[in-house]
Structure 1
Amino acid sequence: MRRIKILVVEDSIVFRELLIRMLKTDPVLDVVATANNPYEARDAILEYHPDVMTLDIELPRMNGIEFLRKLMPQYPLPTVVISALSEGVFEALDAGAVDFVNKPSGMNGKQLADFMRNELITKVKIASTVKVGNLKRLPSSPGGRIASASSRSKKIIAIGASTGGTEAIFDVVKCFDRDIPGVVIVQHMPPGFTKMYAERLNNQCVVSVKEAQTGMQVLPGQVLIAPGDAHMRLIRMNGGYQVECKKGERVSGHCPSVDVLFESVAKAAGKDGIGVILTGMGADGAQGLLNMRQVSAETIGQNEASCVVYGMPKVAYEIGAVKYQIPLNGIAQKIYSLLDN
C-alpha cells in the first residue's frame, strides 16, 4: 500500500506534536517532515516531495496565505489549512488550498483529539486525491437576461458542493444578476464559517447573499446559504417559498446535507426547480438530485475535468440524476438558458 507523504507546517510546538500524533494513527499517512515557517517548508518540499501539506495561517516570517500565493504557481501542492475561525481561511482557499480544518477551542484533550482525527485525517486523504491544476480559476461565461418576470416567478435554483466548492460556488454566483430567481445553497462547512462565507460572497457579487435562517423568504436576486450546523429545507408558503433550518443527525454523512435540500426542492418546487451539483468528495446530493429529475426539474452536474474532486457529481451522473454535464465556467450560462426556455 502506497503511503501518503505529509509535510506539517505549524509554529506551535504543542499543536504540531498533536497534529503529528493524530496523523500517525492512520497507517496510510506518513509525516515525512515538519516546518516552523514557510522558508523551512519550502526547503522541506524540495527535499521530501510531500503529497499533502497541512498549513497554519499565522506563521513567523511569512503568513500561510502569502506562502500559498508564492508556492502554488511554481509547485502546486495539495494543502489543507488549519485555522481558527477567520476570514483568512477563504483567502487561503482562493490562494489554492484544497480545504481547511477548523482549529477548535474549548474542548478537552480527548474531544480535541477525536475531532482532529476525524476531520484532519479525512481531509488530508481527500486532498491527496485532488487534481491541483483544477484549482486554477477559469473565466466564467457571463449569464444572460431572463425572458420575463412571469416565467421565473416560481423558479428555484438549488446548489450543493463540498471540497473545492467555496470557489466553485463563487464562480457560478458571481455571474448572477439581480433578476436571477431565488437561490438556495448547501456547502459543507463548519458553523461560523458559513456566515463569514455568505458575507464574503455578498461583498463580491451583484446578488444579495445571506446565511439562511428559518422563516426567510426565498426571493429573486437573493442567495441563501445553509448554516454550518443545520439542515436547510425549502418550504412552499403562501404562493412563494421560504426556508427552514433545523439541527439534526447527519444525512449522507453531513449536516447540512445537500440531499436534504434537494429532496425538499423536489417536493416544494417540482418541475420549477433547477438543481446543480458541484465538486466534492462522496455522494451527498446524488439521490436528492435524482429526486429532482424524477419530478421533471432540470439538473446540472459539474464535469470531471473542471472538478477539484469528481465525487458527488460523478455519483449523481452515474445514477442518472444529471441531465446536463457542464464545465464549471459554463454553468451560470446554462442556468440562464434553462430559465429562458
Structure 2
Amino acid sequence: MNTRHPNLHSSKLRNELWLSLVVLAVLAVLPAFVQSTYWLGVLIVSMYFAIIASGWNLLAGYAGQFSLAPAAFAMLGGYSTALLAYHLQAPLWIGLPMAAIIPGLVGLVLGRIVLRLSGAYLALTTLSFAEILRLVIYNSIDFTRGDQGLTVPSLLNDRTAYYYLFLAALALVVGLIYWLLRRPMGRFLQAIRDDEIGAASRGVNVLRYKTLAFLISCAICGFAGGLYGTFARLVSPELGLIAQTGLVIAMVVIGGMGTLVGPLIGALLVYTASEVLRDVGNIQMIVFAFLVVVFARYFREGLWGLLRRSMLRRAVAHRKEA
C-alpha cells in the first residue's frame, strides 16, 4: 500500500467495511432460513474460523509477517479459559478475557524474539513454537488431561443464542481491525509489508509495530479459542493441529489476503465447503491446497479481488456507453 495516497487507502477500507457489514447482515438473518441445528453449528464454527482468519490476516496480510501459529494461539486461549475453570473454578467472566490476555502476552514475548527474523525463518520458528506448545499440552496429563481434553462450562444453553454471540464477536473483531487500519498504525504496517527497509529509513519503528500486530493477532486468535471452548464445552490439543492453521491460511488466501472482508468470505465458504466435501471422501484439504496454489499464483487478491475487478470493469464499460 502506498502511504502517500491516504484518500485511496481510506476509500478502499470503507468499501471493504461496507461489504463486511453486508456479509454480517446476511449472517444475521440466516437463522430464519436454517432449520437444521447441525448446519447452524457449521455456521457457528465458520464464524470461529472467521475470527481467527481476521486476526491472522492483520499480521500476515497487512504487516507481511507470515506466522504459522494462529491455531496454536486459539488452542492456548481455549486452554486458558478451561484451566482456570477446571483448577480454580474461575467463572467465565474471568476466563474469557484471559483467553485473549494470556495469548496476547505470550505473543508479545514471542514477537520480540521471532520478529527480528523474516520469510521462511519466521514461518519455521512460529511453526516450531506451535508444535512445542501442542506437545506440551498433550503430554501434561496431570495438568491438562492430555488428549482427553478439558471440559469447559457453557456460556449459553441455546444454539441460536450462541450463533448471535459469535456474530457479535466477529463484528467486534472486524470493527477493531478497521479502526486500527484507519489509524497511523495501519499505514505503518502496510509500509513495513511493502518495504521494511524503506519504512525504517522514514522513521517507522519496525520492530515495535510488528510486535504490536503480533500481540493483537494472538489475542484475537486466543479469544476465538476461548469462545469456541464454551460452545463445544471441550478443548483438546487437536485445536492446535497444523491442519487447522492450514485451513485458516486457505480461508484468507481464497477470500482475499490483505483485505478486511476477505477472511469473512473465505472462512464461510471454505468451512461450509469442507463439511460438504467430508461426505464425498474427506478430500477437503487436497482441494483447498490446490485452490491456495491457484489463487496465490493467479488471483492474489482472492475472491474479493476478483469481485472488485469485475465491478470496476462494469463501471468503466457503463461510463463508455454513457
Same fold (TM over 0.5): no
Q: TM-score range by the shorter chain?
A: under 0.3
Between Structure 1 and Structure 2, the one with more helix by share is 2
Q: TM-score, normalised by structure 1?
A: 0.24
Q: TM-score, normalised by structure 2?
A: 0.25
Structure ranking higher on relative contact order (CA contacts 8 Å, 6+ apart): 2
